[in-house]
A and B are shown apart, each in its own frame.
Chain A
Amino acid sequence: MKVGFFIGCNTSFNRPDLEQAVRHAFPALGIELDDLEGQSCCPTWGTLPSVDVVGWCAVSARNHTIAEQKGLDIVTVCGSCYGSLSEAKYKMEVDPELKAKVNEVLQTIGREYKGTSNVRLTYYYLYHEIGPEKIRASLKYTLGGLKVALQPGCHTLWPSKVYYDKEEDPFHPRVLKEMVEALGATVGHYTRLIDCCGMGAMRSTDMEKSLNLFRRKILSIKEEVDPDLIITGCSSCLIQFDTAQEMLRREKKINFEIPVLHFMQALAICLGADPEKVAGLARTNVKSVIGKILPS
């Protein structure tokens, strides 16, 4: 099995440890990663999508064509990339006129978008292609004994119509829960599970408002679950959860810290990866959790 790895800006430059996690976990589960050489930004929402539809879809389509030429699906760890790539693909599918316009632009660089590669998010890909049972069987270590709260992330859920891998009920997502349970953790439910974490455009526009939104969410997690660890499905959420807690603490708006990992990081660690490489850039105290996962 082979799949194209779309890394995305935030993962490449902000959390390359997450990139490492993917690079460890996929091969460990028997999936070869292709680098999709020459990939660019997805492009993210605040840039070309906010300028015009054709430009957005053209840059997106170029990324698609790299995978198409190799006959591969695209897999990404970042919710924003997942959303932007999926939505552009959806738009071109339902609007052939748009697709034609995009291909006109792509002609200038000698490419043609066909729409043959699917866009997948890492943990959905593993869920469907490998399955929780097999993953459970491949683990060296487990999250046994850990109580975990989840952050699936908006872009893994909505708008459900654009995604290749769909939750049966996006308002009550199950896949991340099953995957984390496959790692051996106990997953605690909290009632603001599907609420937005405040990362993204909001954070760049108004940090204070973004933090307020995040605070509501993290308090719900603390009060309703009080977990040992938060596991996210999206790299953008990872960054928010990782950094915003510290900022809130500094402002004395919360007085706790919950370690945060992306699902791929937790998986890589359980598959025996070096925590320094796959989670070494975390700002929260993940060491304490990792200590519980790995035998001393």
Chain B
Amino acid sequence: MVPKIGVYICHCGENIAGAVNIEEVRAYAEKLPGVVVARNYLFMCSDPGQELIRQDIKDGLVDRVVVAACTPRTHEPIFRKALESAGLNKYLLEMANIRDQDSWPHWHDKEGATAKAKRLIASAVAKAAYLEPLEDRYVEVTPASLVIGGGVAGMFAALDLANMGYKVYLVEKNPSIGGNMAKLDKTFPTNDCSACILTPIMVQVGTHPNIELLTYSEVESVEGTFGNFKVKVRKKQTYIDWDKCTGCGDCVNACPAKVPNEFNEGMDYRKAIYIEFPQAVPKRAVVDIAHCLNCAKRTIGTKPRVHSKTGEPILAPCEKACKTGACDRSREYNPEGEILEINVGTIIVATGYRVMDKAPFKEYSPQSPNVITAMQLERILSATGPTGGQLKRPSDGEKPQTIAFISCVGSRDKRFHTYCSKVCCMYMLKEARLIKEKYPHLNIYIFFIDVRTGGKDFEEYYNYCRDLGVKVLRGRVGAVDELPGDRLRVRAYDVDLGAPVELEADLVVLATAIEPAPGLEELGRKLGITCGNEGFFKELHTKLYPVETSVKGIYIAGCAQGPKDIPESVSQARAASSAAAVPLTAGKVVVEPLISEVNQRKCTGCGTCVQLCPYSAINLVEDKDRRRAKIDEALCAGCGACAAACPSGVITLHGFTNAQIHAQIKALAC
């Protein structure tokens, strides 16, 4: 049967028509082999636009459809629906992207753009002639979800799904959930105490019957696809029996080893055995084995020596102090931890961020203890921090009289991160305000490049800070010199005064950039999702699919996607949880039939494809006399690696068959 192809060319308002001569292209398309009709319309995706297609199908005029418009990424589903509703198999559609791949990049070359549109359409038409009807497949969905990262975003995503009745695994690499928000003192724009609003959420997460908390754990590998992911999680060895540990802290008090305290940003020490912070959930001790002194020669996994006189075992202080028996150093030494296998239908990634260290910024004298990061200041201001909430400068514990803030440290900087970290303008104002409200006589200067306070109530917040007497200067600091007496000289050019300025300060606070959490790229590789240039996870579409990723069933939320504040992180988390719940609620998901198939009769069983398949979807199975390749439909992702490599040419990738691709290339080449 000779195919009857209809070509539908979209103006996309001015987006395409502004560069492509639509009528010329339409007339050209009409003459292409197999084309029975070529039409154009202002917005093909609008209802009247779709109606053109539907009518032609219903009239029996066309049985193959080529839409020359924008990107199939957003619009293919719409046009497929149009075909379906007119009674045509929806896979008899081919799109030519004459907007993103033509009119936009060649906007200033109208002739070239028109010529290119013709070729793209010719190639789509050539392929369309070979299209074949395909049937969707459905797979059952595992009604559970995995959330990676237990910051405020991950916690909200987990809670929402758990409250909907789904099983949620929450994997957090630190001993406790809470993330960076747990370190903050008070939070803009309403200045509520971070711990006060966060702790109840942490407790809810920790006690929710549907949430299985896997802290001190990391994702090891991810297999499977949308609806049925098989995830291996490595639970790191804590060296403490968490079932027995009550979080009393007796072992911590007894331990003599001192280690810089990550939670207080290195400004004081924790022990080798430690509980991450007072409100930790779960509140359990872990042994930092790298820093453990193995007191009394009690290396983990050894039997205690026995006292020659008393006959009592000689124990380490931590063991001796522990009343519950949770701390027992005779336990097996297993630094690899244990691997848990879990099955989930969807995954939400909320791995957050880390703040840059001050060390790279040599021009700001980072060797001075009185030059600190804003996160360190959060800890100094916090009641659970190294100074118990007292404003003290690190060098000698004196109260600083003059404080200078420096913005954009490592942000908007080609040597580090070109993006704006988005929250630092506000948190500098917040920290200044918190200090100024407590100590009105302190002098506070904030050096901005420009003040970025877009957001609900943010500009008012900024004005209020100015009213409090916080001095705002525009001009990035160029140098910080160390002065005698642990003081610092801040040097800048005040753009508004048009003059160089110098300020002697007791404390200099650097608003260091928010950067992707360490290991984000590797995690991305395991999940198959990509990072943008700046290193954060990339959403599928900035506006329309902001929490989806290029992998179906995997969603992102919070600072893992880019710098943002708490309100935004939480909104995004709750959007992600609802997106992740959709397939769980539906119970089954459509799997596109665009997968590979082996013509088993002709397969020689060479096994080339087996090695290549990144999804391990191909096996050699005994079939009569010999072994032949067989593709597991549920595992095949349709990447086509096998089809391209098969030396006998007996693998077909449906939707991209050899005949289709060859026709397409041939049309493009002429």
Listed in ascending order, the chain A residues whose CB lies under 8 Å from chain B are 169-172, 191-192, 224
Interface string of B480-507 (1 = CB under 8 A from A): 0111100001000000000000000000
Is the CB–CB distance between A191 and B482 below 8 Å?
Answer: yes
Q: Is the interface of A mostly helix, strand, loop or mixed?
A: loop
Is the CB–CB distance between A191 and B362 below 8 Å?
Answer: no
Given contacts A170-B362, A171-B362, A191-B483, 12 further A-B contacts (CB under 8 A): A169-B362, A171-B363, A171-B365, A171-B479, A172-B362, A172-B365, A172-B367, A191-B481, A191-B482, A191-B489, A192-B481, A224-B484
What are 15 residue pairs bridging A and B, where the CB atoms are less than 8 Å apart in the complex?
A169-B362, A170-B362, A171-B362, A171-B363, A171-B365, A171-B479, A172-B362, A172-B365, A172-B367, A191-B481, A191-B482, A191-B483, A191-B489, A192-B481, A224-B484
Identify the 9 closest CB pairs spanning chains A and B, nearest first.
A171-B362, A191-B481, A169-B362, A171-B363, A191-B483, A191-B489, A191-B482, A172-B367, A170-B362
CA gap between A191 and B481 in the complex, in Å: 6
Listed in ascending order, the chain B residues whose CB lies under 8 Å from chain A are 362-363, 365, 367, 479, 481-484, 489
Shortest distance between the CB of A189 and any CB in chain B (Å): 9
Looking at A170, A171, A172, A191, which has the most chain B CB atoms within 10 Å of its CB? A171
CA gap between A241 and B484 in the complex, in Å: 25
CA gap between A75 and B646 in the complex, in Å: 63
CA gap between A170 and B481 in the complex, in Å: 13
Shortest distance between the CB of A161 and any CB in chain B (Å): 10
Q: Which residue of A lies closest to B363 (CB)?
A: A171
Q: Which residue of B lies closest to A169 (CB)?
A: B362
CA gap between A224 and B489 in the complex, in Å: 14
CA gap between A192 and B483 in the complex, in Å: 10
| Chain B residues, Cβ within 8 Å of A224 | 484
Shortest distance between the CB of A227 and any CB in chain B (Å): 16
CA gap between A161 and B365 in the complex, in Å: 19
| Chain B residues, Cβ within 8 Å of A172 | 362, 365, 367
CA gap between A191 and B504 in the complex, in Å: 12
Q: Which residue of A lies closest to B480 (CB)?
A: A171
CA gap between A169 and B479 in the complex, in Å: 13
| Chain B residues, Cβ within 8 Å of A192 | 481
Shortest distance between the CB of B493 and any CB in chain A (Å): 15
| Chain A residues, Cβ within 8 Å of B367 | 172
CA gap between A257 and B474 in the complex, in Å: 39
Shortest distance between the CB of A128 and any CB in chain B (Å): 21
Shortest distance between the CB of B480 and any CB in chain A (Å): 9
| Chain B residues, Cβ within 8 Å of A171 | 362-363, 365, 479
Shortest distance between the CB of B632 and any CB in chain A (Å): 52
Shortest distance between the CB of B483 and any CB in chain A (Å): 6
Looking at B365, B479, B481, which has the most chain A CB atoms within 10 Å of its CB? B481
CA gap between A224 and B484 in the complex, in Å: 9
Shortest distance between the CB of B489 and any CB in chain A (Å): 6
CA gap between A169 and B360 in the complex, in Å: 10
Shortest distance between the CB of A151 and any CB in chain B (Å): 16
| Chain A residues, Cβ within 8 Å of B489 | 191
| Chain A residues, Cβ within 8 Å of B479 | 171
Q: Which residue of A lies closest to B487 (CB)?
A: A191
Q: Which residue of B lies closest to A167 (CB)?
A: B362
CA gap between A191 and B490 in the complex, in Å: 12
| Chain B residues, Cβ within 8 Å of A170 | 362
CA gap between A221 and B397 in the complex, in Å: 30
CA gap between A71 and B489 in the complex, in Å: 46
Shortest distance between the CB of A139 and any CB in chain B (Å): 31
CA gap between A192 and B491 in the complex, in Å: 11
CA gap between A192 and B502 in the complex, in Å: 12
Shortest distance between the CB of B357 and any CB in chain A (Å): 15
CA gap between A192 and B481 in the complex, in Å: 8
Q: Which residue of A lies closest to B367 (CB)?
A: A172
| Chain A residues, Cβ within 8 Å of B482 | 191
CA gap between A224 and B363 in the complex, in Å: 21
| Chain A residues, Cβ within 8 Å of B363 | 171
Shortest distance between the CB of A198 and any CB in chain B (Å): 15
| Chain A residues, Cβ within 8 Å of B365 | 171-172
Shortest distance between the CB of B308 and any CB in chain A (Å): 52
| Chain A residues, Cβ within 8 Å of B362 | 169-172
